[in-house]
Structure 1
Amino acid sequence: MKMNSDLNLGYINVRSPPYNATGNGITDDTDAIQRALNDTGNMGGGIVFVPEGNYLIASHLILPAATVLKGVASHVQKHWGDPNKKIVFGTTLLAIADAGNENGTSFISLSGDSSGIEGLQIFYPNQVPRNPPIVYPWTIRCGQKGITAENNFVKNVLLVNSWKGIDAATYESSRHWFENIYGQPLAIGIAVDQCYDIGRINHIHFWPFWSSEPSLWNWINNNGITFLFQRTDWEIVEDVFSWGYQIGMAFRASNNGACNGQFTDINFDNVDIGIDISYTQTWGILFSNLNLANAGGGSNRIGILGRAINGTRPTDAIVVVRGASFWGQFHQNLLWSHSGLISISDSLFSQWNKTSPAAIEIQHGRAMINSNYFGDNIGNAVTVLQDADKVTITNNHLNGNELNVVTKPTVLVANNLP
Structure 2
Amino acid sequence: MKIKKALAIVLAVSTALFCVSCRTGGNTGSDSSGLASSGGQVKKIDVMKNWKDLKDPREKFPPAGTQTGETSPRIVKTKYETKDIIVADIVPAEMGYAVDPTGAADSTDGIQQALYDCYYGGGGTVFLPAGNYAITDTIVIPQGVTLRGDWQDPDVGTEYGTVFSVWMDSSEEDTGGAFTLYDSSGIVGITVYYPFQTLYEVLPYPFTFYVANTSQVITIRDITVINGYRGIGTSVEIPHEILIIDNFKGTFLKSGMELNNQSDVGTVESVKISSKYWKEASAEYMNAPVDKEIDSYVKKNATGLIISDLEWTTFGDIAVDGYSVGIKIIPGYRINFAGSLIDVNITNCEIGLLAQGIDEDWGMVMARSNIEGGIINEWVGMIRTTDVKVTGNIEETREGTIEQNIANLSKYRIDYTAYHAKPKENLIVAKLKKGITTDVSAQLQSALNKAGEAGGGIVYVPGGTYRLDNPITVPAGVELRGASAVSQREINKEDIKGTRFMCYYGDEASYNSETDRAFITLNGKNAGLSGIRILYPENGGNDENLNTTYTVRGNGSGVYVVNTFIAASAYGVDFRNCDNHYLRGNYTCCYYNTYRVGGKNGIIRGCLHNPTMIGRTKAPGLVNWTEANRGLVQIANPITRKYLQHLIVENAENETVYDLFGYACKNLIVNKNSKNTVAVNCGSDNLNALAAELVNSGGNMAVINLLRFNGHSCDNSNGSVMLYNRMTFYEADLEENEIVAGGLS
Is the shorter-chain TM-score for this pair beyond 0.5, marking a shared fold? yes
Partner residue in 2 for 1:210:
278
The amino acid across from 2:364 in the alignment is: I
Partner residue in 2 for 1:223:
301
Q: Using a 3 Å threshold, how does the CA distance of structure 1 residues 63 and 274 change in structure 2: closer, same or farther?
A: same
Q: Does 1:185 align with 2:252?
A: yes
Deviations 1:40-59 (CA, angstroms, capped at 9, x unpaired): 11222110100111000011
1:79 & 1:105 partners in 2: Cα distance? 31
1:188 & 1:89 partners in 2: Cα distance? 22
What TM-score results when the alignment is normalised by the length of structure 1? 0.70
Partner residue in 2 for 1:173:
240
Unaligned runs of 5+ in 2: 1-67, 74-87, 280-289, 409-732, 734-745
Out of 47, 59, 84, the residue aligned to residue 125 of structure 2 is 47
Cα drift, residue 8 of structure 1: 5.2
The amino acid across from 1:259 in the alignment is: F
What TM-score results when the alignment is normalised by the length of structure 2? 0.40
Partner SS for 1:185: strand
Out of 356, 363, 366, the residue aligned to residue 284 of structure 1 is 363
Deviations 1:166-185 (CA, angstroms, capped at 9, x unpaired): 01344433111100111112
Cα drift, residue 89 of structure 1: 4.1
2:120 & 2:209 partners in 1: Cα distance? 22
2:364 & 2:127 partners in 1: Cα distance? 39
Partner residue in 1 for 2:192:
122
Q: Does 1:96 align with 2:160?
A: no
The amino acid across from 1:183 in the alignment is: G
Moved more, 251-260 or 237-246: 251-260
Deviations 1:15-57 (CA, angstroms, capped at 9, x unpaired): 1233131111110000000000111112221101001110000
Cα drift, residue 197 of structure 1: 0.8
Partner SS for 1:76: coil
Partner residue in 2 for 1:274:
352
The amino acid across from 1:136 in the alignment is: Y
Q: Does 1:264 align with 2:335?
A: no
2:240 & 2:190 partners in 1: Cα distance? 22
Tell me, yes or no, if the aligned pair for 2:175 and 2:210 is still in contact at 8 Å.
no
Q: Which structure 2 residues correspond to residues 353-372 of structure 1 after superposition, within 5 A? A: none
Q: Does 1:149 align with 2:212?
A: no
Cα drift, residue 159 of structure 1: 1.2
Q: Using a 3 Å threshold, how does the CA distance of structure 1 residues 271 and 89 change in structure 2: closer, same or farther?
A: closer
Partner residue in 2 for 1:250:
328
Question: Considering only CA atoms, is the larger Rg found in Structure 1 or Structure 2?
Answer: 2
Partner SS for 1:216: helix
Q: Does 1:196 align with 2:263?
A: yes
Cα RMSD (Å): 2.4
1:104 & 1:65 partners in 2: Cα distance? 18
Q: Does 1:336 align with 2:396?
A: yes
Q: Does 1:134 align with 2:203?
A: yes
Q: Does 1:318 align with 2:382?
A: yes
2:382 & 2:173 partners in 1: Cα distance? 33
Partner residue in 2 for 1:69:
147
Cα drift, residue 280 of structure 1: 1.1
Q: Matched residues, percent identical?
A: 23
Unaligned runs of 5+ in 1: 82-87, 294-301, 309-315, 349-391, 393-418
Tell me, yes or no, if the aligned pair for 2:149 and 2:189 is still in contact at 8 Å.
yes
The amino acid across from 2:371 in the alignment is: L
Partner SS for 1:7: coil
Partner residue in 2 for 1:409:
none
Partner SS for 2:278: coil
Tell me, yes or no, if the aligned pair for 2:69 and 2:117 is still in contact at 8 Å.
no
Partner SS for 1:136: coil
Cα drift, residue 346 of structure 1: 1.3
Deviations 1:264-288 (CA, angstroms, capped at 9, x unpaired): 0001110111110122112110000
2:271 & 2:291 partners in 1: Cα distance? 22
Partner SS for 2:268: strand
1:181 & 1:78 partners in 2: Cα distance? 12
Tell me, yes or no, if the aligned pair for 1:156 and 1:180 is still in contact at 8 Å.
yes
Cα drift, residue 239 of structure 1: 0.4
The amino acid across from 2:170 in the alignment is: A
Q: Using a 3 Å threshold, how does the CA distance of structure 1 residues 104 and 143 change in structure 2: closer, same or farther?
A: closer
Corresponding residue pairs, total: 315
Tell me, yes or no, if the aligned pair for 2:322 and 2:349 is still in contact at 8 Å.
yes
Tell me, yes or no, if the aligned pair for 1:78 and 1:158 is still in contact at 8 Å.
no
The amino acid across from 2:374 in the alignment is: G
1:76 & 1:14 partners in 2: Cα distance? 23
Q: Using a 3 Å threshold, how does the CA distance of structure 1 residues 17 and 180 change in structure 2: closer, same or farther?
A: same
Deviations 1:244-270 (CA, angstroms, capped at 9, x unpaired): 111111111122121101100001110
The amino acid across from 2:271 in the alignment is: I
Partner SS for 1:121: strand
The amino acid across from 1:17 in the alignment is: M
Tell me, yes or no, if the aligned pair for 1:325 and 1:347 is still in contact at 8 Å.
no
1:266 & 1:64 partners in 2: Cα distance? 33
